Structure 1
Amino acid sequence: MLSTGALRAHLLAARLAGPVATSREDSLRSYRLFAVGDPRVTLGLAPERPWGERDLLRLMADRCGVSDDPGHVSGLDVIDPERTVAGLDAFARRLAYAARRRAPVLFGTGHPHRLLGFYAALADALSAAGCTVLTPAQGRCVDMTTRFGVRTYRLDHVRGVVLVREPGVRPRGSGTGAHTHSPLPVRMALGWIAERRGVLPELVVGDHGWVCGAGQLGIEAIGLADTDDPALFVGEAEGQVSVAVPVDDGVRSEYYLPLTRYVLNRARLSQ
């Protein structure tokens, strides 16, 4: 069993918390863009009230542990490991509740290169506990705006986790998908279920637009978020997102394995 102390030490050693690779410049840029409603950083969330840059800086200092000094404009950003541990505890409690209810759950990620294994292990555990892990809209196309223009992606499922990939890039079911912040994939997945009058998820687990897009539609959502992802923390503050865990979302995939073990143990889902 991974203790809280051991988890905290791992978070710092792997740079999942403490000084992280996300730059202060990137974080502040995201806060500026969110304040003016740029969809690249709102991730499908429509805030209930205006959020100025200073409001966002104070929120992110409270939720993540970044510096609240607006004069601090360069260098690496910081995540408080205590806040990460607290977030993972809340995340685990929500998974445990879903397991007790045998609730239908949807997993989706815009970070398949890094986080697929983390979500897939959770999906396996919830499935073993009697939850239905939903895998809707296989092969459906969604057009998303990227820095290279509008591109068409297809939804695919890997180990119970929905992701998107460019058609023809990798065989169906392979673990390599596209990095995206867009809420369009979760909207496509939920719309596909609704069209067929299927069972909607009681919980969506993921990151980026998967969490914010689901929360905006009134479906409970939990996920991981970096210091340059203010939308999830705004959603949490306003009640549209249930849990946003502050953590660097771009380190090597194997570094998330201790987080997986910790969450499964805290949720009493260890196999």
Structure 2
Amino acid sequence: MAAPERAELRAHLVRTMIAGDVATPRQNNLLHYRRMAARNPYYLFGLDLKRAWTERDVLEAMVERCGVVADPLHLYGDDTIDPDLTLDALEAMGDRIGRAARRREPVVLATGHPATLTPVYQALAGALREAGCRVLTPSAGWSYEIETYYGSEPRRIVYAPGGVAMLEDADGRTHHTHDSAPMEAMLAELAAESGDWPDLAIADHGWAGAAGEAGIDTVGFADCNDPALFAGAAEGKIDVVVPLDDGISSHHYAPMTEFLLERAGLS
């Protein structure tokens, strides 16, 4: 697939609802903003935010960095992601990935959205490896317990082909996660071994938050109901956050992936 021009990709993002008018409910967004402001750990993604974020502060940041509806009285219905902010962030993300490729930096890739975003990360991992980067895969098999509606369940770190970290249950099914603990375990293992340390993390959710909190250059994706990474970017802990709906069918992200690769000089 040839990489689309910016205007062509913008139209695709809006048509597929990756950006523009998105399906994420406004009431869900506002609930998450409130919980992040209240310092609920599940919504902080492993970030130790220094600022005293109020719910209004979070909304204002999300208007500026994501393009959600600015009206605080818009309480129900759908919300928006500004496609031009998405494209600006994709360009910045591509630039940082391109620098990693030129410098042959060690990188780590991880996703809390394995059902939808894995092909994006796999394409980036493959291109970076071909450019001479070391794609790090620490802590494979590391496990911990999470609490669910049905009780305690195990989760373990596994790597998709190409070296993309994600979580799997005891039956081999991959899972969505906000947790920062898996990335924290990966970085603890790398630090203990005194070997490779990533110069760049490409990630989302708690995987990205933990990497940014550890001082690693971090670029990644976040939906309009995931304010923590945008707050982390505002505080200088996350380098680039691409606003997008992260729950779209995976094949719709292919043009965006090609755009990223071309911007990084890896296509």
TM-score, length-scaled by structure 1 = 0.95
Identity level (%): 44
Which of these residues, 255, 264, 269, is aligned with residue 266 of structure 2?
269
Equivalence for 2:242: 245
Is the aligned partner of 1:25 residue 2:27? yes
Residue by residue over 1:113-145, the C-alpha shift from the partner in whole angstroms, topping out at 9 and shown as x without a partner, is 000000000000000000000111111112234
One-letter identity of the residue aligned with 1:163:
M
2:167 aligned to 164, 168, 171, which one? Answer: 164
Moved more, 74-83 or 144-153: 144-153
CA distance in 2, matches of 1:200, 1:245: 24
2:257 is the counterpart of 1:260: yes
Q: Shift in Å at residue 146 of structure 1?
A: 4.0
**Number of aligned residues:** 264
Q: Secondary structure at the match of 2:245?
A: coil
SS in 2 for 1:2: coil
SS in 2 for 1:134: coil
Return 5+ residue gaps in structure 2 as ranges.
none
- Tell me whether 1:186 sits opposite 2:183 in the alignment: yes
- In structure 1, the gaps of 5 or more residues are 171-175
TM-fit CA distance, 1:147: 4.7
Q: Where do residues 28-107 of structure 1 align in structure 2 (5 Å cutoff)?
A: 28-107=30-109
Q: Which of these residues, 140, 146, 150, is aligned with residue 142 of structure 2?
A: 140
Partner of 1:173: none
CA RMSD between the two structures? 1.1
| Structure-1 residue corresponding to 2:195 | 198
Say if 1:148 and 1:180 are closer, same or farther in 2 by CA, change over 3 A.
farther
> Counterpart of 1:207?
204
Aligned amino acid, residue 244 of structure 1: V
1:218: Cα distance to partner?
1.1
**Secondary structure of 2:166's partner?**
strand
Deviation at 1:149? 4.3
Structure 1 contact 16–248 (Cα < 8 Å) conserved: yes
Residue number in structure 1 paired with 2:7 = 5
